Structure 1
């Protein structure tokens, strides 16, 4: 398998330089292109066709959200991770809606950023723990949605005891690796539980599973730490 090819997008040269050195020291990673704003990012993506984009959000000319929207429109399978200083849901939610496969803050440890890239490529939706907790709280504390017609409510099978345990850990913001360690099972087993949960709920991503878990009362605000 070849190296994971990364496009780094940030309007600060020092940040781009830091990413270049970070991934340059890690086997199987390679920064193949850089961009200093969203408009340039769209062009660089077209040229380099990277495996992953690390996208800042607040930039001149075109924001990271606008750039992800445009890249996603042209390349629906693009894997993009927002990496920014802003932990507010005012930034998180638009980024995820724009197609971000994850959301990490810049104060994350180097190993978390490296793991985040791998998680994004594995469709695991990497989220910094405080982002995950804030997102979960927002979902839990949102006003109830108006009743839907019965025909629109998709019935689903209840989670097994082990699937429920995975859900509880997911609500705490844990990664697949951490969930596996907590439950003394393999990461493959965690992914299998999540896949089964997704099948039951009719969704795919970790975030979508968590959203529906809250809506169906499978986890509660008390699950979030």
Structure 2
């Protein structure tokens, strides 16, 4: 008998979790050992240890009391770093190429679009692949990141946006000083970020980035 792959699931839809559990119930080497529906439940679930593969939706509410979007995309690097023994497979309905690319760049085990039924029907096979160390990107997701029109927000652009999100009173000159870059560079980074997010100004960019879970309300570096 092969070793059992211990699986955890984070998704805010109970029907999705039930669907994954049903598909995996017929795989003798796959066992769903933990599930969660809110972002705040993720770290306690992972802290229990022994989870081989995490199926992760990147758009979930914070908690039952707080329905704002949990900043999952922003926290992905920390999740991967703190739990190196757990392979993180993102399964999401979002088709923004920069989200897919970011998830892969920070070390997740792959990205699957929820509406890619051909892949989700063979979920056990995908889990075996990522558990063995492979990176799995569904064909539909790969087409998006390979598109010449992809709009990837770079880590530097997110860093600048985070500064203003944490303290809206900051001037571009102050951010430039903090990052040791030119004032004009900050302005250029912001303008390209606006274009990629489809907005026209800083408040709209911050709001859109928070909706997508790209930035946190306040990063540790700027807390008093």
141 and 20 in structure 1: CA distance in 2 versus 1, 3 angstrom threshold: closer
The residue correspondences of 1:179-198 to structure 2 (distance < 5 A) are none
| 1:128 maps to which of 135, 138, 147 | 138
Q: Which residue does 2:20 correspond to in 1?
A: 19
How far is the alpha carbon of 1:46 from its aligned partner?
1.1
- Structure 1 residues not aligned, in runs of 5+: 143-225
Stretches (4+) displaced over 6 A: 139-142
CA contact (8 A) 1:37 1:63 kept: no
Number of aligned residue pairs: 142
100 and 137 in structure 1: CA distance in 2 versus 1, 3 angstrom threshold: same
Q: Which residue does 1:79 correspond to in 2?
A: 87
Q: Which residue does 2:101 correspond to in 1?
A: 93
Q: Which residue does 1:9 correspond to in 2?
A: 10
CA distance in 1, matches of 2:18, 2:75: 21
CA contact (8 A) 2:38 2:60 kept: yes
Q: Which residue does 1:207 correspond to in 2?
A: none
141 and 44 in structure 1: CA distance in 2 versus 1, 3 angstrom threshold: closer
48 and 32 in structure 1: CA distance in 2 versus 1, 3 angstrom threshold: farther
CA distance in 2, matches of 1:123, 1:139: 30
CA distance in 2, matches of 1:88, 1:64: 15
Q: Which residue does 1:30 correspond to in 2?
A: 31
How far is the alpha carbon of 1:48 from its aligned partner?
4.1
How far is the alpha carbon of 1:66 from its aligned partner?
4.0
CA distance in 1, matches of 2:88, 2:16: 17
CA distance in 1, matches of 2:86, 2:148: 27
Structure number with greater CO (CA < 8 Å, separation at least 6) is 2
4-13 or 130-139: which moved more?
130-139
CA distance in 1, matches of 2:15, 2:98: 26
SS state at 2:18 partner: helix
The residue correspondences of 1:172-183 to structure 2 (distance < 5 A) are none
Provide the TM-score with structure 2 as the length reference.
Answer: 0.57
Q: Which residue does 1:170 correspond to in 2?
A: none
Residues 147-204 of structure 1 show CA distances to partners (whole Å, capped at 9, x for unaligned) of: xxxxxxxxxxxxxxxxxxxxxxxxxxxxxxxxxxxxxxxxxxxxxxxxxxxxxxxxxx
| 2:123 maps to which of 103, 107, 113 | 113
139 and 119 in structure 1: CA distance in 2 versus 1, 3 angstrom threshold: farther
How far is the alpha carbon of 1:111 from its aligned partner?
3.6
Alpha carbon RMSD of aligned pairs, Å? 2.4
- Structure 2 residues not aligned, in runs of 5+: 63-69, 153-224
